[in-house]
Amino acid sequence: MLSVKNPKDFYAGVLLLCVVAVYALGLLDLRIGSLSRPGPGYFPLILTSLLFVFAVAILINGLRTKGEPIGAVPWRAMFFVTAPVIFFGATVKGLGFVPSLAITAIATCMGSTQWTWKSALLTALVLVFFSYIVFIWGLGLPVALCGSWLRSLFLSVGVPATSLNLCY
Amino acid sequence: MRKWLLAAAGILALGISGASAQNYPTRNITLVIPFAAGGPTDTVGRLVAEAMSKSLGQQVIIENLAGAGGTRAAGQVAKATPDGYTLLLHHIGMSTAPTLYRKLAYNPLNDFEYVGLVTDAPMSLIARLNFEAKDLKGVLEYIAKNKEKTSYANAGIGSASHLCGMLFQAAVKQQLNTVNYNGTGPAMNDILGGHVDLMCDQTTNTTGQIKGGKVKAFAVTTKARVKNLPELPTMDQAGLAGFEVAVWHGIYAPKGTPKDVVAKLTDALQKALKDPKVIESFANLGTEPVPQDQATGAALVAKLKTEIEKWRPLIQSAGVYAD
Amino acid sequence: MEFFSEIGANLSLGFSQALTPENLLYCFIGVFLGTAIGVLPGLGPIATIAMLLPITFKLEPISALIMLAGIYYGAQYGGSTTAILINLPGESGSVVTAIDGHQLAKKGKAGLALFTSAVGSFFAGTVATFLIVAFAPILAQAALSFAPADYFSLMLMGFVAAVVLAQGSLLKALAMIVLGLLIAMVGPNESGAPRFNFDSPEFSDGFDFVALSMGVFGLGEIIRNLEDEKTRQAIRSKWRDLIPTKAELKEMAAPILRGTALGSMLGILPGGGAMLGSFAAYSLEKRMSKNPQEFGKGALAGVAGPESANNAGAQTSFIPMLTLGIPSNPVMALMLGALIIHSIIPGPKVVTERPDLFWGVVTSMWIGNFMLLVLNLPLIGIWVKFLTIPYRLLFPAIVAMCCIGVYSVNNNPFDVFTMAACGVAGYILYKLDCEPAPLLLGFVIGRLMEDYFIRAMRLSFGDSSVFFTRPISLTLLIVSAVALILVLLPAIRKKREEAFAE
């Protein structure tokens, strides 16, 4: 009777097999070539096969040897760490550096179970100020302080273009 | 509500300006370079940007947007706000991309406004130091004898050295053993180490090695000889009639950039190309600024059109694509 | 005798250039800026130099180069600080520093780890500078004899070093390296063919190292730390922990020596040797150590060796750039660009035509390393204090810095998304007892390994015997094979004992 005795190994094996499947799919489009003319698929084919062997071995380990359970996952932290990062990537151009970073910082603070509005706002303020000094003023990072979306928003409510110099 | 927004916008905006060319430019201009910092194109871009800043009265800042053989940067600039604050400096790759990339996200002839040509950088054919041939004739004999056993290094698909190699193989009517490197540095390393036979690359990259006596040099690829490599004949003189290639550079703006803004930029470019410091630095790169009548949008479009037509059959017959 | 008098003359020429008040100032500015920016997560030497390049246009070429060099090793040093304090390696060299350095920090010995790193780096920098002074042209010429086949074997040695690095299951470590290699396969290969992009333009250039590392290490670590937030306490370090005991000094001496030797040698190779230095040194220390089980749990030798190797490699990687005009990494490429802008054509003639520049820069590197030491020893106290900030305030700052840092590398939002995804992946890997360090090292050597393999095959027309007929390659292969057997033996023996026990 097969049962998962070592979940850490078992799921690692499963996960790696999923990776193998994705790469196998990608390999379908690639020319393998020969030893004298290795194609773009030559190296990946060797590596994918190797990973397949290792993944199966790890999976079998998970069925045969004893191991510890995986343990609880901090979903809240996971969400509040990754979602703000994605938000930053998605909005740094549109909203601009300052609003995007401020929202990202506030949202990240919520990842802690001990967060409060006061400390989150304060952290965001300090961070935005510090980053502005270091990255925009000091290093000249080429990014708008206030982005193109806000520019169109301001324009649509009648703000004259002449006063929207920092939004582009 | 509206008042509040107005106030907020007022705080955000510091200067007073308009979008028209009278006041343009009122803030820093970004010149996008489609390659990593430190390379020959980046160097050309930085020199021109600094000189253009002087006459524009605002800083022209370099943004390196490497990736996808330069097409990523070109695609982004094509889509940028056409206000004259985002520009592109691209080289010969602008004309080869439409053939090298079959799924190009922009049209070089349709999606831009054209500021002007900047410079035609010469290339030179070099070989490892212990290569048998003495001159270009010797190289041709070597190739005739060793055929596809002759190895040719380039800095990657779509690079200037790759294009020159393609043209060279078409000219000598012989496929060579092409070895692709990831940049000029590694390719030059293997030429110096004697592991690979030939390379044709921009004089920016080769002059130091030629003068240092670490490589053999046979010819330059321009119509006329190059000033700081006077001992080298042109390819045409040395035995490959009609062989000519130069890495030309142009400055582009997104389609829809106001005409007067483009005119102002062209003017700034022309002034920059007269700047003694630019002329001197270009000379050190083995190149010189284009004549003033070439630093115009019309000249750039014309060049782009003829070059696209020149490279299309070459790339197609070589059957090399980047996607 | 002549050899020494020549060195003496070169050194005095160099010092006469490097010790002018102006150049001392630029050296200091470079080192200071480099350290300050290098400690910011995600901002490594490349981004820093690219951003600060325009400033140097206004300077004399020698001052510009001295300042840029200062930024380079300053940023590298700053990066190690971040790796040790918050487990955030910003470049391949500090991945291994993070392993044991951060464990030491967690034990309240951050000061000791930083001290080791500072002293090791200084010693390595001194030796490497001397090597450049005495042997630069010879070494550069020797490095040229490495052909693509030899580099492939070198990368294979890196692969073995990454296996040795692993603490837990050997099988999982192997799987992680191969996974890293596979991740590196995303993006165009040497012939420009796109791979594994599934028709999405975003994937077409592959993944960025900084995004991957910041995600897997940085964000992954944060999620993990928030697991037991209630029980977690701020790390307390005492001031006096900074001063190492006699035993600790003795413990770090030999690893510093070995790391320096290994790093100096590998750094000379322009085709990607310097980045192998730190993890080759780590693997070496682990093999040499009497208590290899300490590695990964805060072994001092695991910081001393790699950090020395890293800095030695950083210095000697100037050799191919200054003597041949060949950049061994993007930072060196940037410096070449700076030279060109200053109307100096890089190449073999720089040494003879501009000896003032060459020797001035070389000697300034030693001065800069000394400044780094003087600057950073007092700073250690401040860095350690930094860890006493409550974590609920610290981690949002780290996340925000990571976002900006990763974005600034290519100004590409996709890199930020990659980092987020890698954060989740890094946490999952941790949960499944898979180590991230071998994965990252696999990623780093992946493309190089493939490129060198293909080039070697092209140049030999498919004759794979080149790997065994070239002496350099053969030597490297034998070393790798022996090392691999040494790693596998105990594991196999253990298996057999288990079998007997049953």
Instruction: List Cβ neighbours of B19 (8 Å cut-off, separation of 6 or more).
Output: A161, B83, B258
Assess whether A85 and A145 both reside in one domain: yes
Contact (Cβ atoms closer than 8 angstroms) between residue B177 and residue B149: yes
Q: Which chains touch A (3 or more CB pairs under 8 A)?
A: B, C
Residue C499 — pLDDT band, cuts 50, 70, 90?
A: low
Token pair listed for B75: 């695609």
By Cβ distance, the residue of A16, A48, A105 closest to C175 is: A16
Average pLDDT of the residues in C19-24? 93
Assess whether A102 and A147 both reside in one domain: yes
Residue B321 — pLDDT band, cuts 50, 70, 90?
A: confident
Q: What are the residue boundaries of the structural domains of chain B, listed by start?
A: 28-121+247-318, 122-238
- Interface subset of B 271-310, CB within 8 angstroms of C: 280-281, 284-285
Question: Measured between beta carbons, which residues in chain C are less than 8 angstroms from residue B211?
Answer: 345, 347, 349
Nearest Cα neighbor of B282 from B31, B59, B40, B115 is: B40
By Cβ distance, the residue of A36, A58, A84 closest to C171 is: A58
Q: Using one digit for the tens of pLDDT, what is the confidence trace for B284-300?
A: 878 889 999 999 999 99
Q: Could A164 and B13 be called an inter-chain contact, meaning their C-beta atoms sit closer than 8 Å?
A: yes
Residue B11 — pLDDT band, cuts 50, 70, 90?
A: very low
Average pLDDT of the residues in B164-171? 94
Q: DSSP letter at A158?
A: T
By Cβ distance, the residue of B2, B19, B61 closest to A158 is: B2
Residue of C nearest to A102 (CA): C400
Q: Is residue A70 one of the residues assigned to a domain?
A: no
Q: Using one digit for the tens of pLDDT, what is the confidence trace for C458-477?
A: 999 989 899 999 999 999 99
Q: Using one digit for the tens of pLDDT, what is the confidence trace for C272-323?
A: 777 888 889 998 998 888 888 888 888 999 999 999 999 999 899 898 888 8
**Predicted pLDDT of residue C495:** 62
Token pair listed for C127: 């030796």
Å between A4 CA and nearest CA of chain B: 44
Question: Measured between beta carbons, which residues in chain B are less than 8 angstroms from residue A154?
Answer: 5, 9
Å between C447 CA and nearest CA of chain A: 10
Q: Quick check: B204 contacting C, CB < 8 Å? A: yes
Q: Element (H or E) spanning C86, and its range? A: helix C61-86
- Interface subset of B 182-201, CB within 8 angstroms of C: 182-183, 185-186, 188-190, 192-196
Calculate the alpha carbon distances from C94 to C11, C38, C252 in Å.
31, 12, 18
Q: For residue C265, is pLDDT > 80?
A: yes
Lowest mean pLDDT among A97-106, A147-156, C470-479: A147-156
Assess whether A58 and A135 both reside in one domain: no
Q: Which chains touch C (3 or more CB pairs under 8 A)?
A: A, B
Residue C334 — pLDDT band, cuts 50, 70, 90?
A: confident
Q: Using one digit for the tens of pLDDT, what is the confidence trace for C377-401?
A: 888 888 888 888 888 888 999 999 9
Q: DSSP letter at C235?
A: P
**Predicted pLDDT of residue B14:** 35
Q: Using one digit for the tens of pLDDT, what is the confidence trace for B95-150?
A: 999 998 888 889 999 999 999 999 999 999 999 999 999 999 999 999 999 988 99
**Predicted pLDDT of residue B7:** 47
Q: Give DSSP secondary structure letters for C284-305.
A: HHHHH-S-GGGTTS--SHHHHH
Query: What is the percent of chain C with per-residue pLDDT over 70, rounded to a whole number?
Result: 95
Assess whether A49 and A87 both reside in one domain: no
Length of chain C: 502
Residue B323 — pLDDT band, cuts 50, 70, 90?
A: low
Q: Is residue A1 one of the residues assigned to a domain?
A: no
At position C474, the amino acid (one-letter code) is L
How distant is the alpha carbon of residue C358 from its chain centre?
24
Assess whether A156 and A110 both reside in one domain: yes
Q: DSSP letter at B234?
A: B
Question: Measured between beta carbons, which residues in chain B are less than 8 angstroms from residue C411?
Answer: 63, 65
Assess whether A59 and A80 both reside in one domain: no
Question: Measured between beta carbons, which residues in chain A are less than 8 angstroms from residue B85?
Answer: 168
Q: DSSP letter at B175?
A: -
How wide is the angle at C-alpha C110 spanned by C-alphas A74 and C443, nearest 5°?
60
Average pLDDT of the residues in C74-98? 88
Question: Measured between beta carbons, which residues in chain C are less than 8 angstroms from residue B43?
Answer: 337, 340-341
Token pair listed for C157: 């040695």
Q: For residue B12, is pLDDT > 50?
A: no
Q: Which fold has domain B28-121+247-318?
A: D-Maltodextrin-Binding Protein; domain 2 (3.40.190)
Q: For residue B192, is pLDDT > 90?
A: yes
Q: Could A88 and C230 be called an inter-chain contact, meaning their C-beta atoms sit closer than 8 Å?
A: no
How distant is the alpha carbon of residue C154 from its chain centre?
16
Nearest Cα neighbor of C301 from C462, C106, C67, C113 is: C113
Å between B72 CA and nearest CA of chain C: 9
Alpha-carbon distance of C313 to C336, in angstroms, equals 18
Q: Quick check: C53 contacting B, CB < 8 Å? A: yes
**Predicted pLDDT of residue B2:** 45
Å between B1 CA and nearest CA of chain C: 31
Q: Is residue A69 one of the residues assigned to a domain?
A: no
Q: Is residue A133 one of the residues assigned to a domain?
A: yes
Q: Quick check: C350 contacting B, CB < 8 Å? A: yes
**Predicted pLDDT of residue B3:** 45
Alpha-carbon distance of A57 to B272, in angstroms, equals 65
Nearest Cα neighbor of C448 from C153, C46, C91 is: C153
**Predicted pLDDT of residue B10:** 43
Assess whether A11 and A89 both reside in one domain: no
User: C500, exposed or middle or buried, with CB in 10 Å at 0-12, 13-18, 19+?
Assistant: exposed
- In C328-421, where do the E strands start and end? none
Q: Could A23 and C182 be called an inter-chain contact, meaning their C-beta atoms sit closer than 8 Å?
A: yes
Question: Measured between beta carbons, which residues in chain C are less than 8 angstroms from residue A124?
Answer: 396
**Predicted pLDDT of residue B93:** 92
Q: Element (H or E) spanning C393, and its range? A: helix C391-410
At position C452, the amino acid (one-letter code) is Y
Q: For residue C363, is pLDDT > 70?
A: yes
Q: Which chains touch B (3 or more CB pairs under 8 A)?
A: A, C
**Predicted pLDDT of residue B17:** 37
Q: Work out the mean pLDDT of chain A and round it to a whole number.
A: 89
Å between C253 CA and nearest CA of chain A: 37
**Interface size, chain B vs chain C, as Cβ–Cβ contacts under 8 Å:** 152
Omega of the bond prior to C327 within 30 degrees of 0, cis? no
Assess whether A93 and A43 both reside in one domain: no
Q: Which fold has domain B122-238?
A: D-Maltodextrin-Binding Protein; domain 2 (3.40.190)
Identify the residue whose tokens are 């343009």.
B24
Q: For residue B317, is pLDDT > 90?
A: no
Alpha-carbon distance of C158 to C480, in angstroms, equals 8
Residue B263 — pLDDT band, cuts 50, 70, 90?
A: very high
By Cβ distance, the residue of A30, A36, A82 closest to C423 is: A82
Q: Work out the mean pLDDT of chain B and round it to a whole number.
A: 88
Number of domains within chain A:
2
Q: Count other Cβ atoms within 10 Å, centred on residue A110.
A: 18
Q: Work out the mean pLDDT of chain C and round it to a whole number.
A: 87
Residue C501 — pLDDT band, cuts 50, 70, 90?
A: low
Assess whether A59 and A111 both reside in one domain: no
Alpha-carbon distance of C14 to A68, in angstroms, equals 61
Q: Element (H or E) spanning B33, and its range? A: strand B29-33
**Predicted pLDDT of residue B189:** 92
Q: Using one digit for the tens of pLDDT, what is the confidence trace for C105-131?
A: 888 888 899 999 999 999 999 999 988
Alpha-carbon distance of B63 to B77, in angstroms, equals 11
The last residue of one of the domains, among A64, A87, A108, is: A64
Q: For residue B1, is pLDDT > 60?
A: no
Assess whether A94 and A153 both reside in one domain: yes
**Predicted pLDDT of residue C493:** 67
Å between C335 CA and nearest CA of chain B: 7
Alpha-carbon distance of B36 to B244, in angstroms, equals 27
Assess whether A84 and A49 both reside in one domain: no
Q: Is residue A91 one of the residues assigned to a domain?
A: yes
Question: Measured between beta carbons, which residues in chain C are less than 8 angstroms from residue B194?
Answer: 144
Q: For residue A106, is pLDDT > 90?
A: yes
Contacts of B129-137 with CB under 8 Å at 24 or more apart are: B129/B192, B129/B194, B129/B213, B129/B214, B129/B215, B129/B216, B130/B194, B131/B197, B131/B198, B131/B216, B133/B216, B133/B218, B135/B218, B135/B238, B135/B239, B136/B218, B136/B219, B136/B233, B136/B235, B136/B238, B136/B239, B136/B240, B137/B238, B137/B239
Å between C402 CA and nearest CA of chain B: 20
Average pLDDT of the residues in B49-61? 91
Residue of C nearest to B40 (CA): C337
Residue of A nearest to C227 (CA): A74
- Interface subset of B 26-65, CB within 8 angstroms of C: 36-40, 42-43, 46-47, 50, 61-65
Which domain covers residue A94, as residue numbers? 75-163
Q: Quick check: C320 contacting B, CB < 8 Å? A: yes
Q: Using one digit for the tens of pLDDT, what is the confidence trace for C35-59?
A: 988 888 878 788 778 777 877 878 8
For an interface test with A, give the residue of B3, B12, B31, B85 to mutate (most A CBs within 10 A). B12
Q: Could C402 and A85 be called an inter-chain contact, meaning their C-beta atoms sit closer than 8 Å?
A: yes
Q: Using one digit for the tens of pLDDT, what is the confidence trace for C171-183?
A: 999 999 999 999 9
